Every structure is written in structure tokens, then in C-alpha cells.
Amino acid sequence: MNAFDYAAPRSVDEAISLLDAENGDVGILAGGTDLIAQLKEGGRKIDLLLDLKRIPEATALTFDEAGLHIGAATSCAQIYTFDVVQSLYPALVDCTSLIGSIQIQNRGSMGGNFCNASPAADTPPSVIVQGGACRIVGPNGAREVVAEDFFVGPGQSALQPGELLIAIRIPPPVANSGAFFLRFIPRNEMDIAVANAAASVVLDADKTTILSARIAIGAVAPTPLLVADAGAALAGKAVDDEDALEAACAASRAAANPISDMRGTIEQRVHLSGVLTGRAIRGAIQRAKES
Amino acid sequence: MPGKVHVTTTINGESVEFLCEPRQTILEVLRDQLDLTGTKEGCSNGNCGACSILVNGGVIDACLMMAVEAEGEELTTIEGVASAEGLHPLQQKFLEHAALQCGICTPGFIVAAKALLDNEPTPSEERIRLYLAGNLCRCTGYDKIVRAVQDAASAMAE
């Protein structure tokens, strides 16, 4: 690892001033599970290590009428052990509790998972289907980007030079809604998704009709994808309408644009996009019925 | 050339101060500066768990934490697991079950298992296997390790 400086600012303003280009290449540290590995083995060199964990907004994990505020540096374990997340946002438990080992979950953050912008990242689909947004701060102030627009390409996010992701915000769940996330890996744990999918549904008052739905798939394109056609195929349909379910799965297969690599082939990933979409929708409907 | 950073932390219940370079991991400082060599270096990239330590009670890989991050935190290493009265039940049961061969992974397993039992005193076998999935052992095949953790949980419940 090359030599670099370290700073742990206490405020967003202080962090933004340190992120200035005159400090060279700045590495943003939350849990370090991606960054430190890249510094050791990936050949990444930085001039300054900027630790977010002393900034209150980056470490807060709170819930109020505006919804859930997930500070960008809060760990996966903090998120899935938060009682509000367990009761109101189970799709976040689904994704944060299967990333890496317990050791990784105790350090790795959702903010880091977003900024690393791996096409196979496990947390974005759940956030996308629940209408989440990324709060970005920079020299020109703060802005919000909906989660599906945060990802630009493999390893590339919407962050501009001088900006950093400070929090992820998810609105409160509406009545009669549910969300669900799952992935396919060839082992039981400790693996990277061959494909993943999340779904959210809003049902009518007697929980027989889907009013609206959002579907997102991952590891099957350069970025996580919101599949609008899959959600549209379900809107207004009965919760047990198998034709509508298959139409949503077909929409995910059509949206998938994967590559073949050591984890899976194009054909397998397209097929999995449909299978996981169907299972995510069924899981989301079940949770909405139980809500 | 960046200067050294002064860090004040707590390790195994004792206040500790050290100077480190920002590029040093806490694993390097524990082993090379503080002579706490019970924490082992395996893969050094967060896959094997040989360097597992507790930070504020949660198990993490010391190879993926910078030493400067230890400021103000409470760390527990394998050296802090036994008490003045004797071995921790996990250590005793690892011995009784011969849950080790070469031993390089053992400190990490015991520290990770301690984090589990501190929070969940009666885990199922499935839960133990899942919780310890971040600790690799290339000798035992894991069964003896799992039985030792189960037996330690039983002993601690008595």
C-alpha cells in the first residue's frame, strides 16, 4: 500500500473541503471492505484517506415520517439489526444479511455497496423497488438522485468530482405493501450473485388486486435495472393472475443484458432474471398480505 | 511523506496508545508493534477470517481495518479471551474436541464464536455454520469446530 494521509472530518462541510482536487486522489472510507482490498491488491493509489465515520449524518440510522435515513457509513449489520428495518423494511434485511461473512457485514456499508457500483451489488435492487434515493453532497450543496439513476456503469456512479454519497433515504412503506429480495448463487453463502432481483407491490384494501409494482434486477446488465415493463404488467391485476406474473417475468428476461463470465452464462442469467423476478413478486405479495 | 498518527484505543480492557502510519492496518499494528501475535494473518483480503478480532463486540477482519480507525474503540483479541481464572469455555472445548490441527485458523474461530455466543447463547448448528462461514479451516473439515462451539454453548449455559 502506498503512503497516504488520513482525515476523519466531523461535518459534511469539512469533508467537502477536504475532497477538493488539491488534495489529490481521495479514497472515501466507510467500512473499507472494498476500498482497503483495492488499496492492497487492486493497485489503487490514493493521497488521502477520508473517513466518513465521524460525520453524524453518515452514521445515523433513523426513521421518521419522511422515512428511513441510512447514513452512508452504517454497516450492513447495523441495518439488519435495526428493529424498524426488521418490521417495516424486510427486503433490506434480505439483502444486507447475505453479503459476505459476519465479519464483512459488521464493516461493509450500503453506501459503499452503492459507490463501488458493482453490477452484482446486492443492496441496490431492494432500495430501487422501494423508491429510495441517494443524498449526495458536494461543493454546490446537496442533491438527491433516485436510486435507479445512481448507477452509470460497472464501477461508475452518478457522483461528480468533489461529491460524496452521504445517505440513502427510503420513504415510509404505504398501507398493504410488501417488498422482497433474493439472489441466485451456487453455494449457501459467501458468494457473489449470478443474478438477483427485488420486487415491491402495493395491494388494494382487501389484498386481492395489485395496484402497483416495481421490479429491479441485478448482475444481469452493466448496472442494476428498474424493469418498468415488469411492474406495469402487474398493475391492476389480481394477486393470483399467473398470466400477469409470467408477463412480468418475460419483461425481466427482455430487459436483462448480461455477459458470460466465471459465474454464469448469458443464457443462465436471462433465465434466472425471469425465475427470480417471479419469486420476488410472490414474496412481496406474501409480505403485503401479512402487513 | 505523511506523518504518523497518534491513536488511543482500548485493547482487551486496557488503554493503549500507539503511533502508526495511516496506511497500516490494525492487524499490522497488533502483530508488529504491540506484540499481540495471537491474531493471525491469512489471506489479508477479508476472505479467511484468521485475523478476526472484536471491535465494540462485533467480529471483523483486522486486515480490512486501518489502525487509525481504532481511535476511541474497544478491541478484543484472542489474548483477551481467557480470564485470570483459566481458559474460556470455547478454548477448553476446542482442546477437548481436538477442533484444530495446524492451529493457524483457531484464534479467529474462537474470537468469532465468542461474538456469536455473547449475543446468541443457544445457536442452532445451522446458525453456527452460517456465523462461522467467514472463517476458513483447511484441516478439520469443520465438524469438530462446530461440535466444540455447541459444547461450549452448553457448558456456558450451566
Same domain, yes or no: B12 and B70: yes
**What's the confidence (pLDDT) of residue A1?**
85
Question: In B25-98, which ranges are continuous DSSP H helix?
Answer: 26-28, 89-96
Phi/psi region, residue A72 (left: phi>0; alpha: psi -120 to 50; beta: rest), is: alpha
- Residues B15 and B58 occupy one common structural domain: yes
Domain coverage including residue B49: 5-80
Do B14 and B57 have their domain in common? yes
ipTM of this predicted structure: 0.97
Query: CA–CA separation, A35 vs A15, rounded Å?
Result: 18
Residue B2 has pLDDT above 80, yes or no: no
pLDDT digits (tens, 9 = 90+) for B92-118: 999 999 999 999 999 999 999 999 999
For the cut 90, the answer to whether the pLDDT of residue B155 exceeds it is yes
B75 & B109 share domain: no
Alpha-carbon gap: A94 to the closest alpha carbon of chain B (Å): 15
Contact yes or no for A106 and B5 at CB 8 A: no
Angstroms from A225 CA to nearest CA on chain B? 29
Residue B86: per-residue pLDDT: 96
DSSP labels, A188-206? SSS---SEEEEEEEEE-TT
| Residue-level pLDDT at A162 | 95
From chain A, the residues in CB contact with B28 under 8 A are: none
Ordered structural domains, chain A, with CATH: 5-53 (3.30.43.10), 56-170 (3.30.465.10), 177-290 (3.30.390.50)
Same domain, B62 and B106: no
Task: Return the percentage of chain A with pLDDT > 90, whole number.
Answer: 95
One domain, residues B105 and B152: yes
Structurally, how many domains does chain B consist of?
Answer: 2
Of B55, B80, B105, which one is at a domain's C-terminal end? B80
Q: Which residues of A touch B21 (CB under 8 A)?
A: 3
Kind and range of the H or E element at B10?
A: strand B5-11
CATH number of the structural domain spanning residue B98 = 1.10.150.120
Q: CB B133 to CB A101 under 8 A? A: yes
Would you call B69 an interface residue with chain A, using a CB distance cutoff of 8 Å? yes
The low-confidence residues of chain A, meaning pLDDT below 50, are: none
Shortest alpha-carbon distance between residue A257 and chain B (Å): 30
> How far apart are alpha carbons B102 and A22 in whole angstroms?
50
Distance from CA of A22 to the nearest CA of B (A): 15
Per the CB < 8 Å rule, is B65 touching A104? no
Residue A94: phi and psi, rounded to 5, are: -50, -50
In a shared domain, residues B93 and B67? no
**Closest-CA residue in chain B for A99?**
B134
- Of all residues in chain B, what percent carry a pLDDT higher than 70? 99
Rounded to 10 deg, the angle between the B143-157 and B106-119 helix axes is 40
Final residue before a domain boundary, out of B41, B57, B80: B80
Q: Is B82 on the interface with A (CB under 8 A)?
A: no
Instruction: Say if residue B18 is in the same domain as residue B58.
Output: yes
**What percentage of chain B carries pLDDT values higher than 90?**
96
| Domain identity same for B33 and B93 | no
Q: What is the pLDDT of residues B6-20, one digit of tens each?
A: 999 999 999 999 999
Residues B15 and B60 in one domain: yes
Regarding whether B76 and B17 lie in a shared domain, the answer is yes
Residues B13, B75, single domain; the answer is yes
Amino acid sitting at position A116: N
Task: Give the list of residues 6+ apart from residue B62 with CB closer than 8 angstroms, or none.
Answer: B25, B26, B27, B30, B39, B51, B52, B53
Instruction: Point out the domain boundary residue: B80, B110, B132.
Output: B80
Spatial distance between the Cα atoms of A195 and A179, rounded to a whole number of angstroms: 18
- In this prediction, residue B1 has a pLDDT band, given cuts at 50, 70 and 90, of low
Residue pairs between chains A and B whose CB atoms are closer than 8 Å: 86
Question: Rounded to a whole number, what is the largest CA-CA distance in chain A?
Answer: 62
User: Rounded to 5, what percent of chain B is helix, strand, coil?
Assistant: 40, 20, 40
Kindly determine whether residue A101 and residue B49, on different chains, have CB atoms separated by under 8 Å: yes
Q: Average pLDDT, whole number, for chain B?
A: 97
CA distance A117 to chain B (A): 19
Looking at residue B27, what is its pLDDT? 98
Is B45 close to A40, i.e. CB distance below 8 A? yes
> Which residues in chain A touch residue B65, judged by CB atoms under 8 angstroms apart?
32, 36, 107
Which pLDDT score is estimated for A20? 85
Angle separating helix axes A266-290 and A242-255, nearest 10 degrees: 140
What is the total residue count of chain B?
Answer: 158
This prediction's pTM: 0.97
